[in-house]
Amino acid sequence: MPPLQPAHLSLTPEGVPWSETYSDVYHSAAGALAQAEHVFLAGNGLPDRWRSRDSFVILETGFGLGNNFLATWAAWRADPARCSRLHFISVERHPFSKADLLAAHAASGAAADLSFELSQHWPLLSPGCHRLELDHGRVILTLLLGDAAVMLAQVAARIDAIFLDGFAPSKNPEMWSLPVFRALAALSDSDTTLATWSVSSHVREGLAQAGFAVEKAQGFSGKREMLLGRYRGARPRFATATDKRVLVIGAGLAGTSAAERLAARGYAVEILEAQDEIAQGASGNLAGAFRPLPSLDDNRLSRITRAGFIYGLQHLTTLHEAGHPVLWEACGVLHLARSGEQEKKQRAIVDALGLPADFLRWADSAEATQRAGHTAAFGGWWFPQGGWIQPASLCQANLAVAGQRVTLRAGQGVSAIRREGQEWQALDAEGNVLASAPQLVLANAYDARRLASADWLPLRAARGQVSHLPMAQIAPLGVVVCGQGYITPGIGGHAALGASFVVDDFDLGLREDEHAENLAKLGRMLPGMGEALGNAELNGRVSLRPVSIDRLPMVGQLPALMQGDGYNLGTLPRQEGLWLITGFGSRGLVWSSLCGELLAAQMCHEPLPVERELAESMDPARFIISPPGNLAQPDD
């Protein structure tokens, strides 16, 4: 995706926010909030239409300074009959910085507490989809940063109301183009309404061509007219679930993340865990690196790790604010190059992506050495907000914040599952029913393939051995270092160094040769660091990580067919109530929170937290539509 070009706050002599790029004002001189209330809220019949609804979805075509969103949020908060969850989706090509937003809101008279909360959740300004959970998770702002036509085509949602906003059609014709109107129509049904301040004949004709019936209405302030619309087509909507019970198998990062996100939507979740405690698989490791993985072409793997990292940062903050902090540290992550040639490639990636320096920048070998406190063989990427996380503490915090909506039953091994009537049942080895619910989520790593009877699913187990280095015998390390492996700072007296990667090896015993392999990787990243260990006997831990053949997660509803000839992902029949979340490989820390939100949004038929194509690239049914290739070795 092309780099963003952030906006900078400028004012007209009258004090109205002005765009240097488009030579136009951001809102009427009569007031941004009053304009939002008259044109967009009243124009779409709000707040009346969201009352007593479980959820309501608004889409806006230009976030700008966020005044329409703040006015909507304020109206929702003031309404005692408001919907339970308000989704607000907004596109913006030129986002403002947090500081500019606060300054503009103070001048516009927006509610200071709402403006402050928005600023506290304002994302790193990178292209793509950003989900912000506000007002205790009841107001969900999904920001799509990029070109409107491109980003709207990536929205996966059914919308109730459209705020068609933007600079004047003569100033920014792309925002008022037929591709934009058609993208809006594709997300609409016969209940979808539209409002805009523009009554341009070009706009009216384009909306009509896309399928909207439009009419003029009384405009705001000095503007005589505005435009109202309704989509003329008829599309079915999914019914809201009345039986909100779900059964989750597995209490690692995947299972607890999915359970927490479903509990936040009012589901009663029962978790069955085969082990006596949670997080006993790969989620039980001492610590792991938390950082994204950029690429020159900004491919789907890179975009999903970036989305997972940014959403994960927000989730960690939410857990902390709720009084359930995770054991982690944003000490920064160095991802070192392996050679001088790779240094050039990494620098080229930093330059091409144009991401904010507080997300990613290049550090030469001198800076890398200074940050690590050890001689770095080469320079590399520096992720200032990256760090390490103890996986089990994230699992524990997920369950703690979910509270009584989640029931954990440990020591309950599931031998089989079956569909009986309208419910899924989990069975023990004797065929007894352990638990049942209308929805079942398989979050039990590579064993999900067996339970789902999905021999077609290219899900493998990869043995990974992590070595625990005693900090008393090595000099301290201040940051996480990655490259040909990873090493964390000391946690409880030991640094975590890993990890080996052996597919379909189920032995959980420690091996000296894999300790030696890990130490060799360390020596190539930070020469001399491991030499002080000599012939010391190292401790460590072995776990089996679920790996998909294309290195991407598997999140979504399982297909009902084993062959997808003649189908696409949208038309392929699915197994009623059977869901999968697995395939994280070595990236469970950066993917689990986002994937839990994705699965919960899919189950509840809510707007998705990622672009459509990214959700499709994680859909387990992708392997039915396009047969897989060969399993690749892990990326650095």
Over residues 75-130, the pLDDT tens digits come to: 999 999 999 999 999 999 999 999 999 988 988 889 999 999 999 999 999 999 99
Q: Which residues pair with 471 in a beta bridge?
A: none
Task: Judge contact between 171 and 23, C-beta under 8 A.
Answer: yes
Specify the range with the lowest mean pLDDT, choosing from 28-42, 86-100, 140-154. 28-42
pLDDT-derived band at 7, boundaries 50, 70, 90? confident
* pLDDT at site 630: 57
For residue 170, the SS3 value is: coil
Helix axes 178-186, 201-210, angle to 10 degrees: 40
Cβ neighbours for 586, distance < 8 A, ≥ 6 positions apart: 288, 464, 499, 501, 545, 634
pLDDT of res. 636: 52
Question: By the 8 A CB rule, do 44 and 75 touch?
Answer: no
* Rounded CA separation 289/486 (Å): 7
pLDDT of residue 14: 72
Domain spanning 10-231: which superfamily? Vaccinia Virus protein VP39 (3.40.50.150)
On whether the CB atoms of residues 7 and 26 are closer than 8 A, the answer is no
Please determine, for residue 632, whether its predicted confidence score (pLDDT) is greater than 70.
Answer: no
Task: State the SS3 of 460-495.
Answer: EEEEEEEEEEEHHHCCCCCCEEECCCEECCCECCEE
Task: Work out the average pLDDT over 574-590.
Answer: 97
d(C-alpha 608, C-alpha 603), whole Å: 10
pLDDT, tens digit, for every residue of 391-413? 999 999 999 999 999 999 999 99
Residues in Cβ contact with 165 at an 8 Å cutoff, skipping those fewer than 6 apart: 40, 60, 61, 62, 64, 68, 196, 197
* Geometric angle at alpha carbon 246, from 241 and 252, rounded to 5°: 140
Q: Which residue has the higher pLDDT, 619 or 632?
A: 619
Q: Given pLDDT bands bounded at 50, 70 and 90, which one contains residue 629? A: low
Q: What is the mean pLDDT of the chain?
A: 93
Residues 6+ apart with CB under 8 A from 333: 289, 290, 291, 382, 383, 386, 387, 479, 480, 481, 482
pLDDT of residue 204: 96
| Mean pLDDT within 559-567 | 85
Mean pLDDT on 151-156: 96
| Domain assignments of the chain as residue spans, ordered by start | 10-231, 245-282+392-458+559-625
For residue 161, the cross-strand partners are 58, 193
Lowest mean pLDDT among 133-137, 218-222, 362-366, 452-456: 218-222
Q: What percent of the chain is modeled with pLDDT above 70?
A: 97
Spell 21-33 as b/e; 16+ CB within 10 A means b.
ebeebbbbeebbb
Between these two residues, 627 and 290, which has the higher pLDDT value? 290
- Is the sign of the CA dihedral 35, 38, 43, 46 positive or negative? positive
Q: What is the DSSP letter of 541?
A: E
- Is 480's pLDDT higher than 90? yes
Give the CA count within 13 Å in the CB-facing half-sphere of 208.
10
Cβ atoms of residues 468 and 540 within 8 Å: yes
Residue 635 is predicted with a pLDDT of: 55
- The answer on pLDDT for 634 being more than 60 is no
Output the CA–CA distances (angstroms, integers) from residue 270 to 247, 267, 315, 399, 451, in the order listed. Answer: 5, 10, 22, 11, 17
Check residue 584 and report its DSSP letter.
B
Mean pLDDT within 258-283: 96
Q: What pLDDT was estimated at residue 11?
A: 80
Query: Which 3 state secondary structure label does DSSP give 171?
Result: coil
CATH topology of domain 245-282+392-458+559-625: FAD/NAD(P)-binding domain (3.50.50)
Q: Does residue 15 or residue 522 have the better pLDDT?
A: 522
**436 - beta bridge partners?**
425
Q: Of 203, 261, 477, whose CA–CA distance to 486 is shortest?
A: 477
Residues 6+ apart with CB under 8 A from 508: 463, 542, 543, 544
Report pLDDT for 250: 98
For 481-508, the pLDDT digits (tens) are 999 899 999 988 899 999 999 999 999 9
Q: Tokens 């405009």 map to which residue?
A: 219
Position with higher pLDDT, 166 vs 397? 397
Contact 594, 610 (CB under 8 A): yes
The residues, any chain, with a CB within 8 Å of residue 396's CB and separated by 6 or more, are 278, 279, 324
Cα 398-400-402 angle, rounded to 5 deg: 70
How far apart are the C-alpha atoms of 433 and 426, rounded to whole Å? 6
Asked whether the beta carbons of 312 and 590 are under 8 A apart, the reply is yes
pLDDT, tens digit, 9 for 90 and up, residues 428-478: 999 999 999 999 999 999 999 999 999 999 999 999 999 999 988 888 899
Q: Tokens 């049914």 identify what position?
A: 621
Strand ranges in 472-630 using DSSP code E only, listed in sequence order:
480-482, 486-487, 494-498, 502-503, 539-548, 554-559, 574-582
Angstrom distance (rounded) from CA 522 to CA 485: 7
Q: Please report the pLDDT score of residue 32 as a whole number.
A: 85
77 three-state secondary structure: helix
- Residue 47: asked if its preceding bond is cis (omega within 30°), the reply is yes
pLDDT score, position 2 = 80
pTM for this model (two decimals): 0.95
Cis upstream peptide for 499 (omega within 30°): yes
The per-residue pLDDT for 29 is: 65
